[in-house]
């Protein structure tokens, strides 16, 4: 069931268009990654969803809330750099956040204890936030976003600023969270998206370049690939150079590898037969020939650089 539909969402600042008429739908229970290089407009898009920036034009529609209801009550948000009142303790901030979301004093307290435990900072709960490390602040930020059991959890680059261990731990947390609620998070690391998400939206220069479920995208954009590596003797290198000057018709694109070439082909069987024959005929000293498929990374690179 659709939870959120976005249509024609646009934000222009004085001279630039940060987000240019994007549209997508988020279904309940899915984990969605907003993927793209830095400056693609991810943060601006996310801030419009949370209401922190007013869109220049376009619609954001949450399903299942009455007209005029505050959509902020459905959203839990963790900004890229969460900021806190440093004079509060972690526990105080959570209770404050919970009370602001309409929990009773008692609910806010039990929920805070529960979440402090869950994100693993229960032992620091009574310390001032001023003394927290970056990783602890990120966890506290996650806890405050979850305090009112939001229907949609929005996270802006949740792991970018963390060291490898903190990153692993937050990813594990997200893995368990996505079973409970709908998650939208932005990242510029494809690997994170692949690891956790059901759907991806790849943004580039304010537009959505590719969007859909990871499986669909993978199978739709999957192309066979041949990687060939050769020994670095004179004869073999010359042959490869000449061969690439007029590549056969089955080669769609190619790129250089260290000591070889990577070919994207259309008919993998023809390509295999033909290439092997040529290698034998010209007596090329091949060291490796691998047949595989384009990865999501290839697609990502293609989508963001094209």
Partner 1 sequence: MSQWFVLYRKEWLELIRSGKLIWVPVVFILLGASQPIVSYMLPEIIAGAGNMPEGTVIELPTLTASGVMVQTLQQFGTLGLLIIALISMGTVSNERLSGTSAMILVKPVAYSSFVTAKWAAMLTITAISFGLGYGAGWYYTAALFGSVSLLAAAGSSLLFGLWLGFVGTVTILFSTLLRSAAAAAFSALGAAALLSIATTLLPKALAWSPGKLTELAAAQLMSGHASGLWPVVSITIISIIAALALAVWHLRQHPSIEAV
8 Å CB contact between 72 and 51:
yes
Number of residues that bind partner 1 (CB under 8 A): 29
Q: Which of 23, 57, 59, 81 binds partner 1 (CB under 8 A)?
A: 81
x-marked contacts with partner 1 along 88-127 as a string, rule CB under 8 A: x-------xx-xxxx-------------------------
Q: Which of 31, 36, 47, 275 binds partner 1 (CB under 8 A)?
A: 47
* DSSP secondary structure of 144-165: HHHTT--SEEEEESSSTTS-HH
* DSSP secondary structure of 92-117: HHHHHHHHHTT--HHHHHHHHHHHHH
Instruction: Look at the block and give the residue holding tokens 């304010």.
Output: 206
Give, in order, the Cα–Cα distances in Å from 78 to each of 37, 46, 152, 242, 261. 19, 10, 11, 55, 43
13 binds partner 1 (CB under 8 A): yes
By C-alpha distance, which of 102, 59, 53 is closest to 79?
Answer: 53
Least distance to partner 1 from the beta carbon of 117, Å?
A: 22
- Segment contacting partner 1 (CB under 8 A): 49-57, 245-253, 277-285, 298-306? 49-57
83 binds partner 1 (CB under 8 A): yes
Which residue(s) pair with 293 in the sheet?
Answer: 224
42 binds partner 1 (CB under 8 A): no
Question: Which residue, 153 or 193, is less far from partner 1 as judged by CB?
Answer: 153
- Interface residues with partner 1 (CB under 8 A) are 13, 47, 50-54, 70, 72-73, 75, 77, 79, 81-85, 87-88, 96-97, 99-102, 141, 144, 148
């Amino acid at each position: 069931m659709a939870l959120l539909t976005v249509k024609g969402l646009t934000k222009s600042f004085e001279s630039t268009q940060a987000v240019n008429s994007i549209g997508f739908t988020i279904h309940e229970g899915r984990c969605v990654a907003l993927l793209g290089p830095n400056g693609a407009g991810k943060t601006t898009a996310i801030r419009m969803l949370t209401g922190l920036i007013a869109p220049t034009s376009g619609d954001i529609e949450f399903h299942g809330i009455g007209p005029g209801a505050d959509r902020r009550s459905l959203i839990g948000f963790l900004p890229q750099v969460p900021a806190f009142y440093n004079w509060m303790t972690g526990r105080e901030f959570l209770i404050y956040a919970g009370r602001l979301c309409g929990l009773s004093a008692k609910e806010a307290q039990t929920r805070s204890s529960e979440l402090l435990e869950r994100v693993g900072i229960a032992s620091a709960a009574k310390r001032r936030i001023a003394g927290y490390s970056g990783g602890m602040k990120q966890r506290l930020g996650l806890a405050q976003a979850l305090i009112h059991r939001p229907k949609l959890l929005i996270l802006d680059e949740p792991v970018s600023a963390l060291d490898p261990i903190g990153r692993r731990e937050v990813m594990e947390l997200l893995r368990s969270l996505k079973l409970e609620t709908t998650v939208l998070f932005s990242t510029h690391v494809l690997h994170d998206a692949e690891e956790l998400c059901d759907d991806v939206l790849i943004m580039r220069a304010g537009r959505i370049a590719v969007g859909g479920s990871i499986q669909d995208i993978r199978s739709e954009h999957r192309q066979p690939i041949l990687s060939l590596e050769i020994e670095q003797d004179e004869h073999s290198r010359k042959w490869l150079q000449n061969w690439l000057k007029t590549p056969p018709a089955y080669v769609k694109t190619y790129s250089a590898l260290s000591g070889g070439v990577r070919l994207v082909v259309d008919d993998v069987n023809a390509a295999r037969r033909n290439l092997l024959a040529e290698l034998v005929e010209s007596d090329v000293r091949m060291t490796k020939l691998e047949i595989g498929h384009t990865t999501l990374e290839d697609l990502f690179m293609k989508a963001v650089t094209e």
